[in-house]
Amino acid sequence: MGTNETAHLARWWKASDDLEVQCCLCPRACLIADGKIGFCGVRENIGGKLYSLSYGMPVALNIDPIEKKPLAEFMPGTKTFSLGTFGCNLNCSFCQNASLARGAYTGASYERYLSPEKIIELTLENNCRSVAFTYNEPTIFAEYAIDIAQLAHEKDLKTVLVSNGYITACAAKDLYPHIDAANIDMKGFSEEFYTSMTDSHLKPVLAAIKRFYDLNKHIELTNLVIPGKNDSMDLIGLWLDWVEANLDKQVPLHFSAFFPTHEYHLSPRTPKETLSQIKEHAAARGFTSVYLGNI
């Protein structure tokens, strides 16, 4: 069947003309011709139906400290069973996981199918108290994540989502209730940054953050600080304004150092002083949980 014999019928799509389908998982709303694959690289139109190529096909499995997600204030000191697949619905020039985000399911080396039941079995065997959907963008394997999360909760395991927040309202409505804690990555608080550096848009990300917060779930937010691109104190101030107005000052905020990688090498590594200045500014404004990363 298409690229992957284990392809799983996708959710969040509708049929169009001439065997085309429109994916409704993320704001890209890809219109996919028969035999073609959407922008994310893992959702294929096979005979006028949309299939998930990443369902049951993790290519990254690790046992991580929960703090590595990063989640600073959710089940501290515990281990999480982390998994990721190929594919992503953004195109960040500064991607730090490009081998996964731009990877593809080709060749026999990626034919290891792991059912949701097997993921839970591995989680318990390794004495992890949660399952984390991470490394690449979990939105693009949301069907798999939901099925794993349902089984996780039956075994009293928690679920963690590390996401870019680029998701439609209908997909978030189905996925987010199954998630106990999330770290959502706000790339840079301007539409210009999103369009030029990630080939996407800011507004859907903010909507996703608010949607998850409104479920009264545990949420933490990360901002990768790139010199000359999204590190101005004015921009940081606008981000803090938004968090204060739409969430609250107790939401843990992570500001992480950038280092040149993937396709973007024009900015230097973020100076530690920049991150310290941001932390001091946020603390002075009354934000109670500010963390610095990659330093």
Pairing status of strand 31-32 against strand 21-23: antiparallel
Domain shared by 157 and 18, yes or no: no
One domain, residues 68 and 125:
yes
Residues 138 and 232 in one domain: yes
57-96 pLDDT, tens per residue? 999 999 999 999 999 999 999 999 999 999 999 999 999 8
CB within 8 A of 191, min separation 6: which ones? 201, 202, 203
Q: Say yes or no: 167 and 274 in one domain.
A: yes
Which amino acid is present at 29?
A
| pLDDT for the residue numbered 5 | 53
> Does residue 203 sit in helix, strand or coil?
helix
Write out pLDDT tens, residues 254-276: 999 999 988 899 999 999 999 99
For residue 2, being part of any structural domain is answered with no
CATH number of the domain residue 189 falls in:
3.20.20.70
Task: Mark whether 138 and 278 lie in a shared domain.
Answer: yes
Residue located via tokens 């998850």: 212
Q: Considering the domain boundaries, does residue 74 fall inside one?
A: yes
45 and 105, same structural domain?
no
Q: What global pTM score does this model have? A: 0.95
Do 41 and 166 reside in the same domain of the chain? no
Confirm whether 48 is domain-assigned.
Answer: yes
**Three-state SS for 182?**
strand
Domain contains 246: yes
Rounded to whole angstroms, the maximal C-alpha distance in the chain is 58
pLDDT digits (tens), the chain, 295 positions: 344 456 899 999 999 888 999 999 999 999 999 999 999 999 999 999 999 999 999 999 999 999 999 999 999 999 999 999 999 999 999 998 999 999 988 754 556 899 999 999 999 999 999 999 999 999 999 999 999 999 999 999 999 999 999 999 999 999 999 999 999 999 999 999 999 999 999 999 999 999 999 999 999 999 999 999 999 999 999 999 999 999 999 999 999 999 998 889 999 999 999 999 999 999 999 999 999 999 8
What is the C-alpha to C-alpha distance for residues 179 and 167, in angstroms, rounded to an integer?
Answer: 14
- The answer on 88 and 230 residing in a single domain is yes
Is residue 234 located within the same domain as residue 123?
yes
Do 185 and 285 share a domain, yes or no? Answer: yes
- The residues that bridge with 256 in the sheet, in sequence order, are 224, 293
Quick one: 243 and 174 in the same domain? yes
My answer on whether 48 and 73 are in the same domain is no
Structure confidence at residue 112 (pLDDT): 82
Number of domains comprising the chain: 2
Rounded Cα–Cα distance for residues 291 and 294 (Å): 10
| Residue 1, domain member (yes or no) | no
Task: Give the domain range for residue 135.
Answer: 60-293
Label residue 155 exposed, middle or buried (CB < 10 Å: 0-12, 13-18, 19+).
exposed
Contact 283, 247 (CB under 8 A): no
